[in-house]
Structure 1
């Protein structure tokens, strides 16, 4: 599968925030992600890894690591939020570009808190909220491309307003296909009952990036029954290492390969919080498993 380049991310080491004592220290993450056999990483939350481009480059080079993308959250369905989103872009996109990254992953604002599970706003958007969201993402995608030369990859996410397959499809149908591409997160799609292969089949030209992730369907069923937040779902073990969950990875990898263009596929297994000695063995097993799916490198 010569068109798929895989990597991993701080998320697979239990990193959700820029600074948190429950998280693996950044130098240990860099050491271990390289030790697990990965060459490509994401930046994770801005401020977790060094934000000085030269310092970061100096940390990456001896470990033979390269950066594929940075990530921001952008709640553009909210009135007057664009300037706040752009302030994140100015930091993250500049750093991403400076260390050779090519994509900026954009996650919509969450209606429920990751930390507490508290509802922060209504679960669904009205038509005006959808209009603000889609027009704002179009504007953001164009500005990211024009200003930094990066491709925006929109990431549907649990506990946001673009979560289910219907919502993903509505979003794709109402945004600019050139400015706004999709980061297909296989775990989040499955978590919300969607069909990853169907999304790839229906929107092949929108797939610019992927996060490889699996979920435990029994845990997810319990989470949905009890209406728990995503943070609680992760603590219960909703996200699992492949091939222990769904969706089945080989058909998705085949479908991504069949797109006929280069695609980053970054391993993400949400593990917040997690004991510091747990991620490396998981990363090694996942790397080995993906190589068994005929990927050329891990």
Structure 2
């Protein structure tokens, strides 16, 4: 008798410090990095992301020792950018990117997740700039992201994957499509975060089927539709929305991950699928049982 569960043999599953409530390099509300590494390995994951630069040891030799003895490997680093501000922010951007890219490469990873800057503060909700870009800002965003993709590839041998994110300018289906249409596929790929895309009204399966060649990386996440409806109605910023529990444990939320994984497998390319359940801040004993259950759920999906 054969199993009905598909084998997702092109999907490499991992998790990230984010799933342990880690948003900052150093914060008393976060678990120590040693505990994160112990627990992510204990939950059955082999791949991790670096998380906020400075949370994990930034010395490659030490980090290699700490990860390898736990059977862990690094899939990507993460950087934050405000490239719609144009060439004026390039030097500041590169100063932030270069150290993280160097560590990412030293750890054997091939991807750099690029998160656009927030238009409102994720803690206070204070509006920092207009939520809509001007045509000139769109042109700057596209040109500077292509420049980042070229520089990161030439200097560090990494591929950038841009992460559509709530409360940024690359968020909805319309804006994600506009961004992809404006950028060179050879230089710019997408990190599709299923939770953020659903948060902003998008359909992950449709995006994968429409822009398959641009999908370079996945973040697996779900939103609670009832809490999301409240958050949207009340115009709650992303940080406080996470505090309300808008990002929930799979398979309780949307989108359903089975069809997303099936669509990703059908692309016939190797893809990382990194679990990220935003939970900042959270009690220190909360993440590990969730991580174990989530890993079990993904195994039941064939991943």
> Which TM-score tier does this pair reach, normalised by the shorter chain?
over 0.9
> RMSD in angstroms over aligned alpha carbons?
0.6
Q: 2:25 aligns with which of 7, 18, 21?
A: 18
Name 1:36's counterpart in structure 2.
43
Displacement of 1:294 in angstroms is 1.2
Name 1:225's counterpart in structure 2.
233
Distance in 1 between residues matched to 2:65 and 2:92, nearest whole Å: 30
Displacement of 1:115 in angstroms is 1.3
Residue 285 (structure 1) aligned with residue 300 (structure 2): no
Displacement of 1:85 in angstroms is 1.4
Q: 2:58 aligns with which of 51, 56, 59?
A: 51
State the SS of the aligned residue for 1:38: coil
Distance in 1 between residues matched to 2:67 and 2:52, nearest whole Å: 17
Residue 99 (structure 1) aligned with residue 107 (structure 2): yes
Query: Any residues of structure 2 matched to 1:16-165 within 5 Å, and which?
Result: 16-79=23-86, 80-165=88-173
Name 1:198's counterpart in structure 2.
206
Distance in 1 between residues matched to 2:251 and 2:38, nearest whole Å: 25
Distance in 2 between residues matched to 1:289 and 1:112, nearest whole Å: 34
Displacement of 1:202 in angstroms is 0.8
Displacement of 1:81 in angstroms is 1.2
Residue 237 (structure 1) aligned with residue 245 (structure 2): yes
Distance in 2 between residues matched to 1:37 and 1:171, nearest whole Å: 36
Distance in 1 between residues matched to 2:62 and 2:235, nearest whole Å: 43
State the SS of the aligned residue for 2:140: helix
Displacement of 1:89 in angstroms is 1.6
Displacement of 1:82 in angstroms is 1.4
**TM norm structure 2:** 0.97
State the SS of the aligned residue for 2:142: helix
Structure 1 stretches lacking a partner, 5+ long: none
Distance in 2 between residues matched to 1:114 and 1:84, nearest whole Å: 21
State the SS of the aligned residue for 2:48: strand
Distance in 2 between residues matched to 1:85 and 1:67, nearest whole Å: 23
Give the number of equivalent residue pairs: 295
Q: Which runs of 4+ in 1 moved over 6 A?
A: none
Displacement of 1:76 in angstroms is 0.5
Name 1:269's counterpart in structure 2.
277
Distance in 1 between residues matched to 2:90 and 2:215, nearest whole Å: 24
Which range is displaced more, 1-10 or 85-94?
Answer: 85-94
**TM norm structure 1:** 0.98
Distance in 2 between residues matched to 1:221 and 1:84, nearest whole Å: 37
